[in-house]
A and B are shown apart, each in its own frame.
Chain A
Amino acid sequence: MAQDNSNRYFIILGVLGILLGIYTIRLFNLQVLNKSFKRQADENAIREITIHPARGFIYDRNDSLLVYNDAAYDLMVVPKELRSFDTMELCRVLDMEIEEVRKKIEKATKYSGSVPSLFKQQISKEDYGYLQEKMSEFPGFFVQSRTLRSYPQPIAAHILGYVSEVDEQDVENDSYYRMGDYIGKSGIEKAYESVLRGVKGKRKVLVDVHNREMGSYDNGAEDIVAVPGTSIWSTLDMQLQRYGEELMSGKRGAIVAIEPKTGEILCLVSSPNYDPNLLVGTARPKNYGKLVTDPEKPLFNRALQAAYPPGSTFKLANGLIALQDHIITPSSVYSCSGGGYHLGNHVVHCHNCGGLNIYSAIQRSCNTFFCRAYYNILSNRSKYKNIDEAYSAWLDYMSSMGFLQVFNTDLPYELKGRIPTAEYFDKKYNNSWNGNTVVSMGIGQGEAAVTPLQMANMLAVIANKGYYIRPHVVRAIGNKDSLNTQFNNKIYSKIEPQHFETVLQGMKLVVTGGTGRGAQIPGIEVAGKTGTAQNPHGRDHSVFALIAPANDPQIVLFCLVENGGFGATVACPIASLMTEFYLNRKVERKDLEQRMKEMNIK
C-alpha cells in the first residue's frame, strides 16, 4: 500500500457525487416530470362510488301504492384493482361457474380498467352479508346497494312498464347512464324516466390495499348527494284496474275506461296480462323469454296496439257525422226490410226493423239504417265533388274524434289503427268505387280497424259533447295535488254539440230497452252501445261501449272480448260491472260478477 493514494479521495467523492446526481435526476423524473403517478395513486386510493337514488314511487289516483322499491345488492368489479384471489371461493359464494367469472372479468376489462363494472347483480342479503366480511380477500370487488322495483299488486303491468339494465344504445344516447344502470324500458317507467330516476350521487372514498373503505376522500368535499326520484300519481284507479283484470281473466281482450272531463285513464286492461314482479331482478331474462314466446302474447298491449273491427259501436260515430252533414236529422226515418241492406247480390243482414229514426236505430243497432246513412254521407254530391272528396271528409271527421292517430301522451307504444285512405280504394278498385263499395265500414266492419283506446276516446267526445282531452295515465308529479297539466288542452271534434245529445239519447235507449239491457245498474243512468265484431279469426268479438251516468258522465268505458260473441253476452255485463264498481265502489250483482270472472273464452 503506497502512501500516495490521497488523490483517490477525490475519485471517491466524484463517484459518490455522480451517483447522487443520477439519483437526483431519477427522482426529478419520477416526481416532477412524470405526471402519471399522481393519477395512478388516485386510482389506487380513491374509489368513486355511485349512489343510485331510490326511484320514485308510483301511486294510483287514490294514493294507493302501485310501485315501490326493494333493496338489492350488486357486486361490482374494478379490473385494474384485481389481484390474485381465490376464484373457487368466489364461485362458491356467488354460485357461479369459473368460466363465467373469467368471462365477466374479461368483459369488464374491455369496458374499462378503472371504472367499476357490474359483476353480479342482485345478490341475496345473506350472500351480501357473507361477502361484506370477506371483501378483503377479493381486492378489486365491492358491493353496491341498489333498489329493485316491487309491485304490491300484480296488476297494470302493461301500463306501468318495467325497468331494466341499460343497453349500449341507451348509454350512447344519454351520457347520464353507465353500463349497469337501470332505465325505464316501457310504460310509465319509460315515459317518466327522467322524473322517476332522480339524480345519481357520488361519493369518493379512500380504499386501502386490502380493498377496505378507509373513510371519505377530502372530507367528502367532492361528494354529490343523490337526489331521490320523484314520485308519480297515476290516473289509474288501482281497484278498478284489478277488478277489470279479474273480470277479464280467462279471456282475451281489452277494457279502457276514461274520465271524460280530464282524459284520465281510469283503467287500461289488456288480457292476458302478466305479473309485473316477473320482470324484476335476476329472474327477469328468463321470465321475459317465457313471456315473449307465450302463444297468448301476454306482453302485447291489446288496449293500445290491437286494431279491432269496432263493430256496431262504430255506428255512433257515423251517426254523428250523418247528423253533422245533414244527411239525416233526428227525425229522419229509414226503412229496414227485406232482411237488410242490399248491395246487388250481397246483403248486409238486419232484422227487418221497419221504419226507424236514429234513436231507435241506435237502440236496435240497425245495420240497414247506418249502411244507408253511410252510403249517403259518401254520396253527398251537393257537398263533395266525388267519392274521394266525400270519403276524405269522412276521414277528417273521424280523425277529429281521435281516430287515425296516436295521442302521443305518456302511453307506451300506441298504434294508429287502420282505416284506409281514399287513395287506397282508388288503387284497389281502379278508381271505380262508391259508397256501397265500402259500406260495411258504416257499421264498423270491413276495412276499419281501431284500437280500444281510440274507441274509449270517441266515447269521451260524446260524453263531453264535442271535445276530448288526450287520454293519459299520469295525474300528478311530485305531489298528489301538483297536477300534470301538459295534456289538458281540449281538442274539439268537427261535430256540433247538439248532435251528441241525439246520439246519447239513443245510447240510453240501448240500455233501457235495446240491445244492451244487461248494462243497467240500479240508481245509475247508463248509456251504452253493443257491438258484435265479425273478424277473420273465428267467433265474433263481443264489444260494448258505455257512458255513465248519462247526464253527467264520470266514466266512459270500452270493452272488447275477443271471440266473445254478441256484445250483450260478455262485454256488456263486464262493462256494467266495472261501471258499478267504479261509481258505487261496490258491486251488488255478485252472481253476475262470479259468472263473468269464471267465464273462459279461449
Chain B
Amino acid sequence: MPKLDPYNKMSKGFDVRLICYYLALVVIGWITIYSTCYIPDGSTPIFDFGQPYSRQMLWIGAALLIAVVVLLIDSGIIQHYAYFFYLCCLLLMILVLFVGKEINGAKSWIKIGSFSLQPTEFMKVATALAMAKFMQEGKTANERRYIWIVQFALILVPVIVVMLQHDAGSALVFASFIILFYREGLSAEFLILCITAAILAILTLSLNETYSIALMTVVFIVFMIANRNQKKKIRRNIIIYVISIAFVFSVNFLYEHGFEPHQKQRIDTILGKTSDPLGADFNLNQSKIAIGSGGLFGKGYLKGTQTKLKFVPEQSTDFIFCAIGEEWGFFGTLVVFGLFGALIFRILKLSEKQRNPFVRYYGYGIAGIFAFHFFINIGMTIGLLPIIGIPLPFISYGGSSLWAFTMMLFCFIKLNDN
C-alpha cells in the first residue's frame, strides 16, 4: 500500500523544468493553431468561439485547472484509484462503440453539446497508471507467468476496443509500453524478434516474398555454419527459419485482409509502391512541401501559404507540425524537437532516480507514450512513417488529448514529488 504522508507533499517541490516544457509546448500549440486559422485579409479576432484557436484557449484553461487539481490531490489517491480509473475509461470506450460519433472514419467520440470527448486519450493515462500499479503489486505476488498474462491483457483489452472503433493509430500507441517492459526486464531477444519480424514484413510488402526468403536463407545458413557443433541451437535455428518463412507468407495475406483500403494506400505510399501525387499521397506530399518550404528560418509567423491556403490537411490537429515547420523553419522545428526531447529525457531521468517503483513504472509508461506520439506524428509529416492520425501532445488542437496529456504529465509531476 502507498504511504499517505500529507504533511510531506511539498518537501522537494514540483519539477519546475517539466512544468516549463509543458507550458512552452502548450503556448507554441496555441500560437500555431491561431496561425492555421488566420485568414490573410479577413479579420481573425482572438475571441470567436466558432474558431478552433478560441476554443483551444478554453481547453488550455481547463487543462491548467486539471493540472492544479492533480497537483493538489493526494498522490495516494492517484495510486489508489488507478484500477477504478482504468475501468471507467474502458467502460466509456465501450460506450462509445454504441453511442459514439464518427469523425474521419473512427468511431471514437462522445458528443456532449458542442464538445466531443475522446475517451481513448484518457485510456492511455489510465492504462499507464493501472499498469504501474499492477506491476508494483505483481512484484510482491512473485508469480511471473501470471504477471505477464495480466500485463498483456491490460494493454490488449483497450487495444481491441480501440480497433473496434477503427482507430488504428491510437491502438498503435499502446505498443509504447514495450519501453517500460524492456526497462523492467523484457528479454532483448524478444525485442530483436519483434524488430526482425517488422523488417521482414516491410521487405515483403515493399518488394515481395522472394527477397525476404532469400534474406532469411542467407542468415539461416550463416547461423547454421556458426552453430554447426551445437545440436540444440541447430534445432532452434531450423524452427525459427520455418516460422519465419510461414510469417513471410502470411504477411501479404494479413495485409490484404487486415487493413482498410485507405490505410493500405498510405502504407504503400511510404513503401514507395505507388506514386500518385494528385491522389492518395497528396496529403503526404503537401505536408513535406509545407515543412520543406520553411527553409532555415521559416516564412514568418502567419505567412505560411501551404497551411493558410489549406493545402495541408488537418493542419491544426494531426498535421500541426507542418505549420510550425513552414512558418518557423528548421530552427522552429528544432525548438519543438528540443522541448520534446527534454521532456521525455527528463521524465526518464526522474523515473530512474525514483525509489518508489510505482512512479518509475508510470514514468516509463508515459515517456513511451509521449515518445510514440512524437515520433509517429512527426514521422508521418516528414514522410518517414505512414500517415497515422494521432495528435502531437500539447500542440495539436483538441480538448481530449490536451487534457489527457496534461493529466498524464501532472500525475507524474505529482507522484515524482513524493
Q: Which residue of A lies closest to B344 (CB)?
A: A16
Q: Are B352 and A30 in contact (CB under 8 A)?
A: no
Is A125 an interface residue when CB atoms closer than 8 A count as contact? no
Q: How far is the CB of A105 from chain B (nearest CB, A)?
A: 12
Tell me how far the C-beta of B328 lies from the nearest C-beta in chain A, rounded to whole angstroms: 10
B contact residues around A46 at 8 Å (CB) = 305
Given A34-B292, A45-B305, A206-B309: A16 touches B371 (CB 8 Å cut-off): yes
Is A12 at the interface (CB under 8 A from chain B)?
yes
Cα-based distance from A83 to B61 in the complex (angstroms): 41
B-side contacts of A84, CB under 8 Å: 278-279
CA distance A116 to B361 in the complex (A): 60
Q: How far is the CB of B348 from chain A (nearest CB, A)?
A: 6
Pairwise interchain contact A30-B311, C-beta atoms closer than 8 A:
no
Q: Would B179 and A23 count as touching, CB distance under 8 A?
A: no
Taking a contact as CB atoms under 8 Å apart, the answer to whether A24 and B311 are in contact is no
Distance between A69 CB and nearest chain B CB, rounded to angstroms: 31
Interface contact B306-A38, CB-CB below 8 Å: no
In the complex, chain A residues 445-467 whose Cβ is within 8 Å of any chain B Cβ = none
Chain A residues with CB under 8 Å of B344's CB are 16
- Residue numbers in B under 8 Å from A283 (CB-CB): none
Q: Is A2 an interface residue (CB 8 A)?
A: yes
A343 sits at the interface (CB 8 A): no
User: Given A31-B329, A34-B292, do A209 and B309 touch, yes or no (CB 8 Å)?
Assistant: yes
Checking B139, B296, B337 against A31 with a beta-carbon cut-off of 8 angstroms, the contacting residue is: B296
Known contacts A9-B352, A12-B348, A214-B40; is A209 also within 8 Å of B310 by CB? yes
A596 shortest CB reach to chain B, Å: 66
Q: Which residue of B lies closest to A81 (CB)?
A: B278
Chain A residues near B308 (CB-CB < 8 A): 45, 206, 208, 214
- Fill in one digit per residue for A198-221: 1 if any B CB lies within 8 Å of its CB, else 0: 000000001111100011000000
A23: which B residues are within 8 A, CB to CB? 337, 375, 378-379, 382, 384
Is A20 in the interface zone, CB < 8 Å from B? Answer: yes
Q: Does B289 contact A (CB under 8 A)?
A: yes
CB contacts under 8 Å to A, within B288-341, are 288-296, 305-306, 308-311, 325-326, 329-330, 333-334, 337, 341
Binds A, one of B2-10, B181-189, B202-210: B181-189
Beta-carbon contacts of A38-49 to B below 8 Å, as 1s and 0s? 101110111000
Chain A nearest CB: distance from B323 CB in Å? 13
- A28 within 8 Å of B (CB atoms): yes
Measured as residues with beta carbon below 8 angstroms from the partner, the interface class of chain A is 35 or more
Main secondary structure of the interface of A (DSSP, over half): helix
CB of A426 to closest CB in B, whole Å: 74
Q: Which of A6, A27, A32, A215 has the most CB of B within 10 A?
A: A27
Whether B288 pairs with A41 at a CB distance below 8 angstroms is: no
Residues of A with C-beta under 8 A to B309 = 44-45, 206-209, 214
Q: How long is the Cα–Cα vector from A214 to B40 in the complex, in angstroms?
A: 8
Q: Are A1 and B185 in contact (CB under 8 A)?
A: yes
Contact across chains for B293 and A38 when beta carbons are under 8 A apart: yes
Query: Does A8 sit within 8 A of B, measured CB to CB?
Result: yes
Give chain B's interface residue range (CB within 8 Å of chain A): 35 or more
Instruction: Name A9's closest neighbour in chain B (CB-CB).
Output: B352
Interface centre among A24, A44, A208, by most chain B C-beta atoms within 10 angstroms, is A44
Q: Which residue of A lies closest to B147 (CB)?
A: A1
Q: Are B288 and A208 in touch, CB under 8 angstroms?
A: no
Check if A432 is an interface residue, CB within 8 A of chain B: no
Which of these, B182, B305, B306, B330, contacts A28 with CB under 8 Å? Answer: B330
- Residue A5 is within 8 A (CB to CB) of chain B in the complex: yes
Please tell me if the beta carbons of A40 and B289 are within 8 angstroms of each other in the complex: yes
Please determine whether B183 and A5 come into contact, CB atoms closer than 8 angstroms: yes
Interface pair A37/B292, CB less than 8 Å apart: yes
Contacts of A171 in B (CB 8 A): none
Candidate in A41, A207, A209 with the most chain B CB atoms within 10 angstroms: A41
Asked if A82 CB lies within 8 Å of chain B CBs, one says: yes
Interface residues of A in 341-358 (CB under 8 A from B): none
Could you tell me if A13 and B293 are in contact, using CB atoms closer than 8 angstroms? no
A26 within 8 A of B: yes
Q: Per-residue 0/1 for B331-373: is the Cβ within 8 Å of any A Cβ (1 yes, 0 no)?
A: 0011001000100110010001000000000000000000100
Which B residues lie within 8 Å of A1 (CB)? 139, 144, 184-185
- B295 contact set on A, CB distance < 8 A: 31-32, 38
Inter-subunit contact B291/A27 (CB<8 Å): yes
User: How distant is the Cα of A34 from the Cα of B289 in the complex, in angstroms?
Assistant: 10
Q: A27's closest neighbor in chain B, by CB? A: B333
Does B311 lie within 8 Å of A45, measured CB to CB?
yes
Is B282 in the interface zone, CB < 8 Å from A? Answer: yes
Q: Contacts of B170 on A, CB cut-off 8 Å?
A: none
Known A12-B348, A13-B345, A214-B40; contact A24-B334, beta-carbon cutoff 8 A: yes
Cβ contact within 8 Å between A31 and B183: no
Interface string of A557-598 (1 = CB under 8 A from B): 000000000000000000000000000000000000000000
Which residue on B lies nearest to A30, using beta carbons? B292
Query: What are the nearest 4 A-B pairs in CB distance?
Result: A37-B292, A41-B293, A45-B305, A1-B185
Known: A9-B183, A214-B308. 11 other contacts (CB 8 A): A1-B144, A5-B185, A23-B378, A24-B334, A27-B334, A31-B292, A32-B330, A38-B292, A40-B289, A41-B306, A214-B41
Binding site for A on B (CB under 8 A): 40-41, 139, 144, 179, 182-185, 278-279, 282, 286, 288-296, 305-306, 308-311, 325-326, 329-330, 333-334, 337, 341, 344-345, 348, 352, 371, 375, 378-379, 382, 384
What are 18 A-B interface contacts by the 8 Å CB criterion? A6-B352, A8-B182, A20-B337, A23-B378, A26-B382, A27-B334, A30-B288, A30-B325, A31-B294, A32-B330, A38-B292, A41-B293, A41-B305, A44-B289, A44-B311, A82-B278, A84-B279, A206-B305
